[in-house]
């Protein structure tokens, strides 16, 4: 039976490619989705890949995933540093959660140093660019199987 994984992307990640390429690189979110789909196929994983600019929509998707998935990958983007609501929603999940960031928030402005996702995350992958998503799927394959 294949592992089911939900990959969630937060605000402004739909603008990758045009958004601060010196920080985030020139890959678009569609490129990252393709990379995830290729990695998932090699791991025999079933994935859903979503992005929203709306905190409540991300919360609803997490709630809807309760008991439906074997792992969650989340790049909560700016909400990483602000969202108690996402922190609370993630606590509903019994499956492993992997936090991903393209950049390394610890090496950037002070306001990016705190993460509301980290206390819930089985692993945090940061500063690896798009490749971090593939690493997150590999980590889930070893934890969730």
Catalytic residues: 24, 101
Using a CB cutoff of 8 Å and minimum separation of 24, what contacts does 125-129 make?
A: 125/98, 125/99, 125/100, 125/101, 126/99, 126/100, 126/101, 127/101, 127/102, 127/103, 128/102, 129/24, 129/25, 129/27, 129/102
The site map against ligand DQA for 48-87 (x = CB under 6 A) is ---------------------------x-xx-x-------
Stretch that binds ligand DQA, among 43-51, 65-73, 96-104, 135-143 (CB under 6 A): 96-104
> CA-to-CA distance for 72 and 17, rounded, in angstroms?
24
**CB under 6 A: which stretch of 64-72, 95-103, 117-125, 134-142 binds ligand DQA?**
95-103
Smallest separation, CB 23 to ligand DQA (Å): 7
Q: In what order do the strands lie in the sheet with 71-75?
A: 45-51, 3-9, 71-75, 97-101, 123-126
Minimum distance from residue 8 beta carbon to ligand DQA (Å): 12
Applying the rule CB under 6 A, the residues between 3 and 32 that interact with ligand DQA are: 12
Please pick, from the candidates 28, 53, 103, 135, the single residue that binds ligand DQA as defined by CB under 6 A.
103
The continuous run of DSSP H or E covering 16 comes out as none
Could you list the residues that contact ligand DQA (CB under 6 A)? 12, 75, 77-78, 80, 101-103, 105, 112
């Amino acid at each position: 039976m294949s592992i089911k994984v939900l990959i969630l992307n937060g605000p402004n990640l739909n603008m990758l490619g045009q958004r601060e390429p010196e920080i985030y690189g020139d890959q678009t979110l569609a490129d990252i989705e393709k990379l995830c789909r290729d990695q998932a196929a090699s791991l025999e994983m079933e994935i859903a890949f979503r992005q929203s600019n709306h905190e409540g929509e991300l919360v609803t998707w997490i709630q809807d995933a309760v008991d439906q998935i074997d792992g969650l990958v989340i790049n909560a983007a700016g909400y990483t540093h602000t969202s108690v609501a996402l922190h609370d929603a993630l606590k509903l999940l019994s499956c492993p959660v992997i936090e991903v960031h393209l950049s390394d928030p610890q090496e950037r402005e002070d306001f990016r140093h705190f993460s509301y996702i980290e206390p819930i995350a089985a692993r945090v992958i940061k500063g690896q660019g798009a490749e971090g998503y593939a690493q997150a799927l590999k980590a889930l394959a070893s934890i969730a199987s």
